[in-house]
């Protein structure tokens, strides 16, 4: 059976000896640091790539919008031509 200790109670090991119930983490090796650096670099590349895609798509949409006639100007031109037709129709009566 696994004996549980109460807080403040000493372990059965000799005083001053490392406690076997607490796992000590191993220090980071060079390969750990290199691996984290590679992962961070890949994440940065992915973020830059997605940012570039979004920027490019917005630029394309903006340039396509600039080449088209704005809907407001088109509506105003149509309204003006309708007014001119109505004015000529009234003038010919």
pLDDT tens-digit map of 75-87: 888 999 999 999 9
- Residue 20 and residue 13 in contact, taking contact as beta carbons nearer than 8 Å: yes
Q: Which residues of 43-56 are buried (b: 16+ CB within 10 A; e: fewer)?
A: eeeeeeeeeeeeee
The verdict on residue 92 lying in a domain is no
pLDDT by residue (tens digit) across 27-52? 999 999 999 999 999 999 999 999 99
- φ/ψ region of 16 (left if φ > 0, alpha if ψ in -120 to 50, else beta) reads left
Looking at the predicted structure, is the pLDDT value of residue 3 above 70? Answer: no
pLDDT of 58 higher than 60: yes
Q: What is the mean pLDDT of the chain?
A: 84
Indicate if the pLDDT at residue 23 is higher than 60: yes
Domain range for 83: 31-87
* Domain total of the chain: 1
Q: Does a structural domain hold residue 1?
A: no
């Amino acid at each position: 059976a696994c004996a549980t200790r109460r807080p403040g109670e000493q372990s059965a090991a000799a005083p001053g000896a490392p406690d076997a119930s607490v796992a000590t983490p191993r220090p980071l090796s060079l390969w750990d640091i290199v691996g984290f650096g590679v992962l961070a670099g890949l994440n940065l590349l992915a973020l830059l790539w997605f940012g570039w895609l979004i920027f490019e798509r917005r630029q394309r949409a903006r340039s396509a919008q600039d080449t088209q006639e704005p809907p407001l100007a088109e509506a105003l031109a149509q309204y003006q031509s309708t007014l001119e037709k109505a004015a000529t129709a009234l003038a010919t009566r």
